[in-house]
Chains A and B, each alone.
Chain A
Amino acid sequence: MSDFAGKTMVLLGNEAIGRGLVEAGCQLAMSYPGTPSSEILPSFVRFARVENIDVHSEWSANEKVAFEEALAASYTGKRTTVIMKQVGMNVAADPMMSSAYTGVKGGFLIITADDPGPHSSQTEQDTRMFALFAKIPVLDPASPDEARRMVPYAYELSEKYEIPVIMRPSLRVCHGRESSTLEEPLVLDRPANFVKDTHRWAATPRYRLKLHQQLNEKLVKITEDFEADTTFNFVDNADAKSSFAIIAAGMPYATIRDILKEHGAFERVPILKIGTAYPYPKKTIEGFASRYDKVLVVEEPDAVIELQLSMRNRVMGRHDGTVPDAGELTGEVLTDVLSKVLSDAGVIDKPWVISRDLRKVVDDLEIPVRPASLCPGCPHRSSFYTIRKLFGKKGIYTSDIGCYTLGLNLDAVDTCLDMGAAISMATGFYHAYNHDKGDVPPIVATIGDSTFFHGGLPALAGAIYSDARYILVILDNLVTAMTGMQPTLALGVQADGTLGTVLPLEDACKGLGARFVRVQDPYDQDGMRDVLKEAQEHCRGPEGRVAVIIARHACLINDKAAAKANVSPVTINDNCNGCGLCRKTFECTALVKGDPVEGKEGRFYTIIDRRVCADCGQCIPVCNRGAIQLLEN
């Protein structure tokens, strides 16, 4: 018996999903970390451990790799999952599209976290749209606990029809907290048993047509299942006398309920809540819609149910401009939408008086924004500072996805597109300039250690092969820092803490044909400058290729010992003339504006904010006047 079954706990949505995986008998879980999905795999590992269930878990090289690993394991009959954020699905799209055709054996759940807003992503793409495109069923939870309860259902559906199933929680579900009453874990005794079937697992195009037809047949049956479902698809206030109704899905469903209740209008509005956007439960949705003159569809981040609705003249939503077509559907946004729509439809007498109209009463209040900044003592700051100082404005600085995107603040990041693009875009910039046969400006690509393994390896292979010449700096802080300190492949530590095999970055780069590969501690700024100069000479020399510098220094947040290893507390001496150069070029939250300089308007002395200072001493060389010095005891 489990100590946890029957217990009520307040869980983060991602923790609830991890628990759901244990309750559904998931045996193998693969993931690549990415906000807002990162806490799901650790939660699965933790709940499996406390329940004494033996599972395999893995932070994979990237989402495509994770997908294929988990899919193959499902071919053996085991229950498996692949977990990622929504842009990770772009990376995994290739195997995903194909897996819809091959189908699966053991239950295979694809968990993809969407980010309406976006809060920490490049796009606001809707995973349900991907489901439609790939012809894979998709479940859309409206709360953390519903997400947990959907997991076992998803596995049953997946095994019943031998089809992958997607569950896509959105950010507010992933990072929402709600109480859940936990259920018994499911322990499956299923040894791996891969039954060969080449017409399916290695299907040629002729058999692919057949598989496509089979997929369509499965979808017809799943549609019927979804139309019969009353757990995740249900109607609130079915008896309300109204010519107007709402169809809602995901977190917007919960938001709409709260708004209507707050304004005392809930009982007056019939609401169809849909947890299965695809395959489209037509009888459920259109049967409901046919009873009303107007139906407002509210879903995010895109219009997936609305797109499938055939009764176009009754539908209000994103397509007719009733609902904004970008950004998160927050309570504020939906209050405005509902106030207008409900008053137009005569459900309420007049638009609501909205309390936030009180906002901005102090008109002249200019509240400074507070963008994120690299942590004090961050080794990336030292790398960016040295790179920018050496190559200046004329350098082209491609970068990538990670904490180090914040090199923006030091003017050392010019591009940020997607995982691995720092390297391939540097190659593209090189060939574009080299095409003119003239001078190629200095090009420096910066990419993190984890991102390098994720998307950088094939990009570096392409750069070496095509004779591109530029500097590649791998910012190696020995961890995947931004998403919450997951281990990288270079460390050889697996998701459950057990040891795997160490994959040194330098070996990978040499193996791909780089001739110039150096490891350099960026805290040694002189050494970093010298190796950058050498690297640039290598690029320009007759035997030049991409020159790789591995800027290795542990993340101080992750590695407390590293934080204590370089203690060099600093102070500002009387040489400071308030020029502000240190604050502008080194951009550290510990270098702050102090008192104004008398007689020099707009000038302020710099002071050290000792509360946040990491005592790294990296800002000492920044001041030309020697005003930043070691603190004497």
Chain B
Amino acid sequence: MSSFNIYMCGVGGQGIGMLSEVLSRACLEAGHNIMGCDTHGLAQRGGIVVSHLRLGDGVRTPRVPDGSADLVIALERLEALRAADAMLAKSGTVIYYDTIYQPIHVRMGKTSYPEADALEETVKTRGGKVERVQLADIDDPRMQNVALLGRLASTGVIEGVSARVVEQALRDALPAKALAANLAVFEQAAEKTAP
């Protein structure tokens, strides 16, 4: 059974739901059979929000097992680290938006936010790759998910999920009034890495 496992994570309110929705549509359009599952309920309030997406014909379980994510898409640096540590498969890829949301014990001064190089180190020990995304001029932090989609599409790490396919999924999933601004961010993020 060959499967491709995608693990998405971030902090409640960052727009993981939309990221997951658009990516699911794009993967379907690209001809993949998909299964997945999301976080619901209380965790959405400022806690960790995750979404699992598995591609492959034989897949029956929606949850990506620990240590088997071929691709981690993280909306926050600490959550990227947590996912790289627990979820990333050997030689997997981490694409993350480099921004910080302090968890409660950091805010209260009981512990420190991890150092910037912890993520690179962790991914290196697994023989994986890290793609850092940060666009200087995004006004609305809720569009950081679209920036990640732009970068993801240009890397071609998911078979068949090209920039064109993701863009169409965005057009299908987003309300008309939000579309133009999101597409601009999407294109900007894609261009930054275009070879």
Q: How many residues of B contact A (CB 8 A)?
A: 60
Are B62 and A176 in contact, CB atoms less than 8 angstroms apart?
A: yes
A584 to chain B, nearest CB (A): 5
Which one of B63-71, B151-159, B165-173 is at the interface?
Answer: B63-71
Query: With the chains together, A587 CA to B46 CA distance in Å?
Result: 12
Judged by a CB distance under 8 angstroms, whether B94 is at the interface is no
Q: Which residue on chain B has the smallest CB distance to residue A258?
A: B61
Instruction: Check B145 for interface membership: any CB of A closer than 8 A.
Output: no
Kindly supply a per-residue 1/0 record for chain B positions 7-41, scoring 1 wherever the CB is within 8 Å of any chain A CB and 0 otherwise.
Answer: 00001110000000000100010000111111111
**Is the CB of A394 closer than 8 A to any CB of chain B?**
no
Scoring A residues 309 to 339 as 1 if CB is less than 8 Å from chain B, else 0, what string do you get?
0000000000000000000001110010000
A482 to B40, CA, bound (A): 9
CB-based contact A119/B41 at 8 Å: yes
Question: Which residues, 195 to 246 on A, are CB-close (under 8 Å) to B?
Answer: none
**Contact between B107 and A367, CB atoms less than 8 A apart:** no
Q: How far does the Cβ of B50 sit from chain A's closest Cβ, in whole Å? A: 11
Contact A359 B45 (CB under 8 A): no
Residue of B with least CB distance to A591 = B107
Q: Which residue of A lies closest to B58 (CB)?
A: A261
By the criterion CB–CB under 8 Å, are A365 and B62 in contact?
no
From A178, A255, A359, A375, give the contact of B66 (CB < 8 A).
A359
The answer to whether B106 and A120 have CB atoms under 8 Å apart is: no
User: What's the interface size class on A, roughly?
Assistant: 35 or more
Residues of B within 8 A of A513 (CB): none
By the criterion CB–CB under 8 Å, are B35 and A583 in contact? no
Chain B residues lying within 8 Å of A176, measured Cβ to Cβ, are 35-37, 62
Which chain B residues border A365 with CB–CB below 8 Å?
81, 85, 114, 118, 122
Partner of A370, one of B36, B104, B109, B118: B104
Q: Which residues of chain B are within 8 angstroms of A589 by Cβ–Cβ distance?
A: 46, 101-102, 107
Q: Are A373 and B47 in contact (CB under 8 A)?
A: yes
A483 pairs with B45, CB closer than 8 A: no
Grouping DSSP codes into helix (H, G, I), strand (E, B) and loop, the A interface class, with mixed when no group exceeds half, is loop
Tell me the bound Cα distance from A611 to B36 in angstroms: 29
Query: Is B103 in contact with A371, judged by CB distance below 8 angstroms?
Result: yes
Are the C-beta atoms of B24 and A10 separated by less than 8 Å? yes
Interface residue? B59 (CB, 8 A): yes
CB-CB nearest in chain A for B36: A177
Smallest CB separation, A268 vs chain B (Å): 15
Question: For residues 561 through 602 of chain A, which have their beta carbon under 8 Å from a beta carbon of chain B?
Answer: 580, 583-584, 587, 589, 591-593, 602
User: CB within 8 Å of A: which residues of B?
Assistant: 1, 3, 11-13, 24, 28, 33-48, 58-63, 65-68, 78-79, 81-82, 85-86, 89-90, 101-109, 111-114, 118, 121-122, 125-126, 141
Listed by A's residue number, 15 A-B pairs whose Cβ atoms lie within 8 Å are: A120-B42, A179-B34, A257-B61, A258-B61, A261-B1, A355-B90, A368-B112, A372-B46, A580-B108, A589-B46, A589-B101, A592-B102, A593-B106, A604-B109, A609-B102
Residues of A within 8 A of B (CB): 10, 12, 35-36, 38-39, 119-120, 142-143, 172, 175-179, 251, 254-255, 257-258, 261-262, 330-332, 335, 354-362, 365-375, 403, 405-406, 409, 482-484, 580, 583-584, 587, 589, 591-593, 602-604, 609, 611-612
